[in-house]
């Protein structure tokens, strides 16, 4: 039986790995190494798919965590969370379409869309880790069953 209480840590780890791969892919394309760029970005996409599966599993089966931080950190946390959630909703579509354009060799359109996808995907990956740290590590909270 899978212990789903570990999934938030797995999710944060997958977000961090995705961020490293995205940044590596960016560096590789700036260096002109198209093959390494392609490998990094396909890997980042696969890691993000694993993240989505893990995240949805925890969302449906895990316990809801409520942020217990008070004072100045509370509006900071919710600002990060709201921007993270809104932008995260765009990543599957943006990343998929950017990847498809690149794989089909439509590099002009790929580059244009990647200029939008890259910063959003990097931000979402980074803020996913920050939300995890704030919610699960720095500010403990009571849990309630999901659903």
CA 79 to chain centroid: 16
Q: Which element (helix H / strand E) includes 129?
A: helix 107-132
Domain boundaries, the chain: 4-145
Burial class (CB in 10 A: 0-12, 13-18, 19+), 88: buried
pLDDT tens over the chain, length 147 residues:
678 999 999 999 999 999 999 999 999 999 999 999 999 999 999 999 999 999 999 999 998 889 999 999 999 999 999 999 999 999 999 999 999 999 999 999 999 999 999 999 999 999 999 999 999 999 866 555 554
Class of domain 4-145: mainly alpha
């Amino acid at each position: 039986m899978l212990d789903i209480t570990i999934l938030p840590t797995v999710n944060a780890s997958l977000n961090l790995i995705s961020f490293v791969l995205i940044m590596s892919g960016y560096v590789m394309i700036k260096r002109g190494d198209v093959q390494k760029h392609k490998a990094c970005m396909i890997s980042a996409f696969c890691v993000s798919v694993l993240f989505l599966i893990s995240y949805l599993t925890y969302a449906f089966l895990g316990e809801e965590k409520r942020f217990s931080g008070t004072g100045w950190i509370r509006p900071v946390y919710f600002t990060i969370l709201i921007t993270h959630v809104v932008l995260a909703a765009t990543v599957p579509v943006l990343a998929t379409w950017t990847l498809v354009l690149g794989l089909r060799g439509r590099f002009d359109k790929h580059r244009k869309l990647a200029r939008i996808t890259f910063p959003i995907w990097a931000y979402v990956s980074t803020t996913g880790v920050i939300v995890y740290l704030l919610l699960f590590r720095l500010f403990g909270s009571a849990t309630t069953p999901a659903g």
